[in-house]
Structures are given as structure tokens and as C-alpha cells.
């Protein structure tokens, strides 16, 4: 009886969110699991799919609307572009149900495993499964490109997925957009200091996962890849970093102030620019060429709504047509 009641409640809530196009996807191998997403109408002939991941408030519906504004500015809001905003829920969220993977508070943003509902499912694996869902040629035979976008907490997940994710989507171009995260995953013990880098005089534990590779998650250890192998794979991926030019508040209450994060810089702009310099540092040290784009959005702070509504973002992310390869 409780399960029937929960199912009825979910159906009622989904109906109340009809304008936001709430829908349920069934993902994964074997029995699989359900994932709540907000999306536009299914488009079997879509050539591009855009996945946009919410921030710490888990407000996927708002991010779906921001994604619509972005696609409108890019001239991509007609047929041919599929937009999905997945919802990484906790057990206490109103739309949570037992058939979904559910995470404690912010563990999903680290790529961690669900601990309620369908347990043991890494948030990284959810992104893998979304890519597999979209790459199914029986479902989307014309799909050429998938753009993965994360902002704030969602960008913490996306940046780590760009480095650690298996991301199998054969024959489809996959792009990663990392927007204004609080912290980044470093691949050795060095951190920015002045114009250079150092591994000396830093706080204890600064290199533990999710900031470094000490005590890595099972999702990574089962791949059997070392830091240089990860960097080489990451260097070959299409990654764009962006941040609001005014996202410089060092005392922001929604920014990570832990030891590992503070070792990366004082604010989001500084941390992002420091990470791009770090990429160059590793490129020279390890002999791996890397070219990832980065741009700042003038006049904008940490607001996802304002960032994705800015015309410069639409131009920066969708200036070129999807690859035909």
C-alpha cells in the first residue's frame, strides 16, 4: 500500500509540473533504475542532445528553463535538439521514489554512489547511462552530438566526469561544459601558488578525493588508470570552461571553503583560471598536448539563470554546427 501511495503521489506531482515536461527515464543494465528528468518532447530525429545538470538545490526544473533560454539564444530551440535536465534526488525530496537512485545531500556532485532507493549507483554511472540511452541508434538514429553542461555543484560533477568518466558514445561527438564549480579534481599533489605551483606547506588532506586522487572512488579504481593515463584521455576530450566574471566573492556561502578547495584559490574565477594554468603545467611536465577553451561572462556573478541567458554563452557554446563525423 505505501508503494502505491508513493506512485500516485509521484504521478500527481508530475502532472503539476507538466509545463516543465517532467518525465521518467529507465536506465542501466539488467533491472535498471528510474531517473526523473525534465525535457522537451521526444525527438527521434534529433541531431543534437543537450544535458544540463542542476546545482546544489537540485532544482532541475529551473535548469531545464535555463537550458531552453540557452538553446533559444543559439537558434536551437526547434526540432532537432533534445534537451534533458536530470534530477539527482535525496530520499527526502518530494519526487523521490524507491525505483530511483537517491543520494545523501551533495554526494552526487562528487560522482558518489547512491545510498537509498536503488543503492550503489554512482552519479558518474548515471551520466554513462544517459549517454548510452542517447547513443542507442534504434532510439536516435540521427544523433551527432551530445553536449554535457554542469553549473556550480553540477559543474563539480561534470568536471570530474570529464576527467574520470568512461563516457562511451560510439560515433557521437561528446562535449563537456564546466560552468563555475567551487572546486576541481587535480591529478597530482601540486596546487597553484603565485605564478607557479607547489606541493609544499598545504593543509592536511588537501589531495584526498574529490580534490585529488588520494582515496579515489570505486568508479575510478575499477578502470585501472593512473594519473598520466587519465590526463591523456582528458586532454583528448572537448572541454569548455566558463565562469561569470563577477563570481569573485571569496566569502560566498554557496562556495566550498574546505581545505582542499581553498588550496585551489580564493574564489571561483581564480580557481578556474588556476586550473587552466595547471593543465598547461601538466602538459609540459608529462608531454601531453592539451587545448581546452575558457571564457568569462561579463557582468554576471554566480547566477545560472543569468549565465545561460547571456548571448555570449550561446555564441561561445554553439558557434559551430555539430560535427558530421
Q: 178-219 pLDDT, tens per residue?
A: 999 999 999 999 999 999 999 999 999 999 999 999 999 999
Q: What is the mean pLDDT of residues 98-125?
A: 97
CA distance 239 to 173: 12
Q: Using CB atoms within 10 Å of the CB of residue 298, give its burial: 0 to 12 exposed, 13 to 18 middle, 19+ buried.
A: exposed
Cβ–Cβ under 8 Å, residues 242 and 296: yes
Q: Any idea where the domains of the chain sit in the sequence?
A: 20-318
Pick the CATH number of 20-318 from 3.40.109.40, 3.40.50.1820, 3.40.50.720, 3.40.50.2020: 3.40.50.1820
Q: What is the mean pLDDT of residues 74-93?
A: 95
- State the pLDDT at residue 293: 98
Find the range with the poorest average confidence among 18-22, 98-102, 122-126, 311-315. 18-22
- State the pLDDT at residue 166: 98
3-state SS, one letter per residue, for the chain: CHHHHHHHHHHHHHHHCHHHCEEEEEECCCCCEEEEEEECCCCCCCCEEEEEECCCCCCHHHHHHHHHHHHHHCCCCCCCEEEEEECCCCCCCCCCCCCCEECCCCHHHHCCECCEECCCCEHHHHHHHHHHHHHCCCCCCCCCEEEEEEECHHHHHHHHHHHHCCCCCCCCEEEEEEECCCCCCCCCCCEEECCEEECCCCCCCCCECCCCCECCCHHHHCCCCCHHHHHHHHHCCEEEEEEECCCCCCCCCCCCCCHHHHCCCCCHHHHHHHHHHHHHHHHHHHCCCCCCEEEEECCCCCCHHHHHHCHHHHHHHHCCCCCCC
Report the percentage of the chain scoring pLDDT > 90. 89
pTM confidence score? 0.93
- State the pLDDT at residue 111: 98
Cβ–Cβ under 8 Å, residues 303 and 243: no
∠ Cα 252 255 257 (to 5°): 100
pLDDT score of 124 more than 70: yes
* Contacts with 253 (C-beta within 8 Å, 6 or more apart), sequence order: none
Q: What is the mean pLDDT of residues 208-231?
A: 98
Amino acid at each position: 500500500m505505501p508503494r502505491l501511495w508513493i506512485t500516485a503521489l509521484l504521478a500527481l506531482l508530475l502532472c503539476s509540473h507538466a509545463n516543465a515536461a517532467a518525465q521518467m527515464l529507465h536506465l542501466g543494465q539488467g533491472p535498471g533504475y528510474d531517473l526523473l528528468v525534465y525535457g522537451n518532447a521526444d525527438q527521434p530525429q534529433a541531431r543534437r542532445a543537450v544535458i544540463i545538470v542542476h546545482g546544489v538545490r537540485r532544482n532541475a526544473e529551473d535548469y531545464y528553463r535555463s537550458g531552453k533560454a540557452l538553446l533559444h539564444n543559439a537558434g536551437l530551440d526547434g526540432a532537432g535538439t533534445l534537451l534533458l535536465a536530470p534530477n539527482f534526488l535525496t530520499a527526502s525530496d518530494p519526487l523521490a521514489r524507491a525505483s530511483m537512485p537517491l543520494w545523501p545531500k551533495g554526494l552526487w556532485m562528487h560522482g558518489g554512489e547512491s545510498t537509498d532507493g536503488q543503492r550503489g549507483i554512482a552519479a558518474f554511472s548515471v551520466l554513462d547511462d544517459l549517454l548510452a540511452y542517447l547513443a542507442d541508434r534504434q532510439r536516435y538514429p540521427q544523433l551527432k552530438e551530445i553536449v554535457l553542461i554542469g553549473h556550480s555543484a553540477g559543474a563539480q560533477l561534470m568536471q570530474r566526469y570529464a576527467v574520470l568518466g568512461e563516457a562511451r558514445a560510439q560515433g557521437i561527438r561528446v562535449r563537456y561544459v564546466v560552468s563555475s564549480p567551487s572546486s576541481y579534481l587535480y591529478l597530482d599533489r601540486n596546487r597553484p601558488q603565485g605564478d607557479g605551483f607547489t606541493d609544499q606547506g598545504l593543509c592536511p588532506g588537501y589531495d584526498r578525493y574529490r580534490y585529488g586522487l588520494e582515496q579515489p572512488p570505486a568508479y575510478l579504481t575499477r578502470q585501472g588508470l593512473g594519473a598520466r593515463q587519465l590526463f591523456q584521455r582528458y586532454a583528448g576530450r572537448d572541454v569548455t570552461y566558463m565562469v561569470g566574471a563577477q563570481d569573485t566573492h571569496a566569502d560566498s556561502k554557496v562556495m566550498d571553503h574546505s581545505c582542499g578547495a581553498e588550496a585551489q584559490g580564493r574564489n571561483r574565477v581564480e580557481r578556474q583560471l588556476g586550473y587552466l594554468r595547471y593543465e598547461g603545467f601538466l602538459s609540459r611536465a608529462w608531454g601531453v598536448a592539451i587545448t581546452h577553451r575558457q571564457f568569462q561572462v561579463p557582468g554576471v556573478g554566480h547566477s545560472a539563470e543569468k549565465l545561460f541567458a547571456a548571448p555570449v554563452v550561446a555564441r561561445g557554446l554553439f558557434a559551430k554546427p555539430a560535427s558530421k563525423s
